[in-house]
Chains A and B, each alone.
Chain A
Amino acid sequence: MGSIIVQLIISGIAMGFIYALVGIEYTLIWNASGVLNFSHDKLITLGAYIFGGTYIVGMQLGFVEGILLSIVTVAVIGIIIAKVIFIPLRNLTMIYTIMATVMLGKIIVEAIRLYWGPVPFSVPGFLVGTVKINNIVISIANIVIIIAAAICVCALQLFLYKTKPGKAMRCVAQNRNASQIMGIDVKTVMIITIIISMVICCLIGILVSPLLNISTTMSNMIGLKGFAAGVIGGFGYLPGAIVGGLVIGIVENLASMVFPAVYKDIAAFVLLVAFLLVRPKGITGKTR
């Protein structure tokens, strides 16, 4: 019994970090442009397809080259999306930009279906295998997810607090008009933010591909729970997204011990509604 709980907590932490990363990429764009990016889960799928479909299965590259090339590719796509959608729409009413991102998501999914085909596939040999400690089995995919996500979060914190572009991003997040008056090039900052957000999306897609298989619907649930992670932790505050993600990941896994496992997803959303009702500021109580 004890070992089951430990095991559930470990896989909960791994999924929690994924939700946290989703919460972060979501929050970054919200902070930089005031746009809720409803296509973010589709961007995760796109990252997985570019990595798995094109570079690994298609071009037969190594995993490291595949990951690096995927990141470069999504960064370029990020620039295009920023210039075509986010920058022109940044001063419009929120509803227009939301609709634009929802449609962007549709376009991406259909483009994926046309280009890579509707049949799901997996990346052979990528992050397979398990590590056994006593009678606790941990899959290598989970370990890699935890390490990679932790590195990603730390690097992002360093970038935001120690570098000039990072500081500019925080300024824009605080007050877009004031930063513009202070001489910060808001458009460039937005492009940088969207590139970072896209790269995180791509990494999420790559990290979850061994867990989920690559298909057009792979990231629907992750996308929703990432949003819940942001709200539970405190929307717009990066460490909050991490706390929220981990809470959801662990709670939903432990819930499957008590309730039938089909109700696992409900745990995350009950938590979301409860926080919205009782503590809309989230666990950390900060919004930015």
Chain B
Amino acid sequence: MKKNKLLSMIIAMMLAASMLVGCSGTAAEEPADADAAETSEEDAGEEESADGEETAEAAEGDPILIGVSASITGSAPTNGMRTEQGAQMAVDEINAAGGVLGRPLELYVADDGGVQDTGINATNLIASQGVVAQVGPTLSGLALAVEGLVAEAEYPVLVGATSPKLVTTMDNPWVFRVRASDTIQAQLAATYATENLGCSKIGIFTNSNDYGSGARTVIEEFLTEKGIEFVTESHNTGDTDMTGQVLRLIDAGVDCVIVWTDDAETALAARQFYDLGLDVPVIGSTSISTPQVNELCQPEWLDNWYSCTDFTTSNDSEIVQTFVQNFNEKYGEDPELYAVTYYSAVYLLKDAIERAGSVDSAAIRDALAETDGLEVPIGTYRANDMREMIHGGTICKMVDGKAEFLEYVLVED
């Protein structure tokens, strides 16, 4: 009986010990949490200063209100936090430098929760505040859900949504896209494979969902036009074993593979390509260069992998490095895609308001549509007929499991 007691005590202690120890998941979250706390403190401070002394020094007059739809809660709260940080940083910089048309900018942030219904509420809330323009939402589903609202409210919206549907299924003069669409990214991958890497037989390995199959169509069209041979394989979200597909790619003798899929599947593909000896250059979607995928992979799996992405902190151009440094000083962390997207978007608005010479929404919209060659950290903004601002992307090469900037490539559209 005593022995039993002793044993159960040991087991209980072991269990308790195991509960006390976290893992990479929690560890990764902690700094984010700490950061969120910091931000909210800082936000509070900024609000005060916006009403108070700093404004008086830098810019005078009524503030110009800009709405921000960010996914602060929901499945990807980090994205919302970065959206807010990026936009806020741009606003602070602009105000410190004298504001726009002599007036300070002010943000009105609403939480879209990353889902359609909350997103619609958020945009309604923003519209009721009398904003001159809105940045966000980022998710394509949300952008499609709110486009009708902003057409009614009649103010311009700069979205970071990348689905080709934003161009193909609607024609809304108020919606501008401030990130490269998936079409451009996919085209970039195909261009880089054929022109820079000189590949002649390309394997296309995509997810069967909207994201993957959309890119597949673009790549197939591009390769057919160029007369380059290709084979296509696909997989489902949540697939665990890609042996069949990988073996067929090897069997077809491809000299390059373009992989277009989500985070978990990208990591799985990297592992299985490596294990099964598919030893050719691989070009993939932006997933590959994200830290969360890098952490799932051993560095050697990603040898000879390239990534098409919007932004990388390893880009050594001056404008990006200054941005990265300033962001680091302000928030103590490297910026990522969301931060840079909305930082750039606020600067785009500033530029448009200055060129329009007024805060009238229609005038701002017309000025936005005439944007030509505004340099921002995410690239060069130039509006086309479809109100898309970005026409190129960054190619990164994976070195020791980390993304390293290779070059910025423009795509004809």
Measured CB to CB, the residues of A under 8 A from B are 1, 4, 7-8, 11, 15, 49-50, 52-55, 57-59, 69, 72-73, 76, 115-122, 124-125, 128-130, 132, 137, 139, 208, 211-213, 215, 217, 220-222, 253, 256-257, 260-262, 264-265
Distance A132 CA – B276 CA, assembled complex (angstroms): 9
B227 within 8 Å of A by Cβ? no
Give me the 3 closest cross-chain CB pairs, A-B, nearest first: A117-B25, A256-B244, A53-B23
Q: Per a CB cutoff under 8 Å, which of A8, A49, A119 touches B244? A: A8
Which of B29, B238, B241 has the most chain A CB atoms inside 10 A of its CB? B241
Q: Is the CB of A130 within 8 A of B238?
A: no
Distance A124 CA – B300 CA, assembled complex (angstroms): 12
The stretch of B37-45, B291-299, B361-369 that contacts the partner chain: B291-299
CB under 8 Å from chain A, chain B span 228-270: 233-236, 238-245, 247-248, 251, 263-264, 267-268
B169 within 8 Å of A by Cβ? no
B373 within 8 Å of A by Cβ? no
Q: For B12, what are the chain A residues with a Cβ–Cβ distance below 8 Å?
A: 76
B196 within 8 Å of A by Cβ? no
Q: Is the CB of A119 within 8 A of B241?
A: no
Question: With A8-B243, A69-B14, A262-B208 as given contacts, are A116 and B236 in contact (CB-CB < 8 Å)?
Answer: no
Question: With A115-B26, A261-B233 as given contacts, are A139 and B275 in contact (CB-CB < 8 Å)?
Answer: yes
Chain B: minimal CB distance from A208 (Å): 8
Q: Is the CB of B18 within 8 A of A69?
A: yes
CB under 8 Å from chain A, chain B span 12-32: 12, 14-15, 18, 21-26, 28-29
Q: For B24, what are the chain A residues with a Cβ–Cβ distance below 8 Å?
A: 53, 57-58, 119, 121
Which of A1, A76, A222 has the most chain B CB atoms inside 10 A of its CB? A76
Q: Is the CB of A54 within 8 A of B267?
A: no
Q: Is the CB of A11 within 8 A of B240?
A: no
Q: Is the CB of A117 within 8 A of B240?
A: no
Q: Is the CB of A124 within 8 A of B298?
A: yes
Q: Is the CB of B25 within 8 A of A261?
A: no
CB under 8 Å from chain A, chain B span 275-304: 275-277, 292, 295-298
Q: For B22, what are the chain A residues with a Cβ–Cβ distance below 8 Å?
A: 53, 58, 116
Q: Per a CB cutoff under 8 Å, which of B21, B238, B264 touches A221? A: B238
Q: For A119, what are the chain B residues with a Cβ–Cβ distance below 8 Å?
A: 24-25, 28-29, 292
Chain A: minimal CB distance from B6 (Å): 15
B319 within 8 Å of A by Cβ? no
Q: For A260, what are the chain B residues with a Cβ–Cβ distance below 8 Å?
A: 234
Q: For A4, what are the chain B residues with a Cβ–Cβ distance below 8 Å?
A: 247-248, 251
Q: Is the CB of B15 within 8 A of A220?
A: no
Chain A: minimal CB distance from B216 (Å): 12
B11 within 8 Å of A by Cβ? yes
What are 15 inter-chain pairs, A to B, with CB distance below 8 A? A1-B251, A58-B21, A72-B11, A73-B18, A76-B11, A117-B25, A117-B26, A122-B296, A211-B240, A213-B267, A217-B238, A220-B238, A222-B240, A262-B236, A264-B244
Q: For B298, what are the chain A residues with a Cβ–Cβ distance below 8 Å?
A: 124-125, 128
Distance A256 CA – B239 CA, assembled complex (angstroms): 13
Chain B: minimal CB distance from A45 (Å): 13
Q: For B240, what are the chain A residues with a Cβ–Cβ distance below 8 Å?
A: 15, 208, 211-212, 221-222
With A8-B247, A125-B298, A139-B276 already in contact, 15 other A-B pairs whose C-beta atoms are closer than 8 Å:
A11-B243, A49-B23, A116-B23, A117-B28, A117-B29, A119-B29, A121-B25, A122-B295, A213-B264, A217-B238, A261-B245, A262-B208, A262-B234, A262-B235, A265-B236
Q: For B11, what are the chain A residues with a Cβ–Cβ distance below 8 Å?
A: 72, 76
Q: For B251, what are the chain A residues with a Cβ–Cβ distance below 8 Å?
A: 1, 4
Chain B: minimal CB distance from A262 (Å): 5
- Chain B residue at minimal CB-CB distance from A114: B26
Q: For A265, what are the chain B residues with a Cβ–Cβ distance below 8 Å?
A: 236, 239
Q: Per a CB cutoff under 8 Å, which of B21, B242, B247, B295 touches A121? A: B295
Q: For B208, what are the chain A residues with a Cβ–Cβ distance below 8 Å?
A: 262
- Chain A residue at minimal CB-CB distance from B75: A118
Q: Is the CB of B241 within 8 A of A52?
A: no
- Chain A residue at minimal CB-CB distance from B251: A4
Q: Is the CB of B26 within 8 A of A256?
A: no
Question: With A69-B14, A137-B275 as given contacts, are A257 and B23 in contact (CB-CB < 8 Å)?
Answer: no
Q: Per a CB cutoff under 8 Å, which of B21, B234, B236, B238 touches A54? A: B21
Distance A211 CA – B247 CA, assembled complex (angstroms): 17
Query: Per-residue CB proximity of B313-340 to A under 8 Å, as 1/0?
Result: 0000000000000000000000000000
Distance A164 CA – B2 CA, assembled complex (angstroms): 25
- Chain A residue at minimal CB-CB distance from B237: A217
Q: Is the CB of B18 within 8 A of A54?
A: yes
Distance A50 CA – B248 CA, assembled complex (angstroms): 36
Q: Is the CB of B18 within 8 A of A55?
A: yes
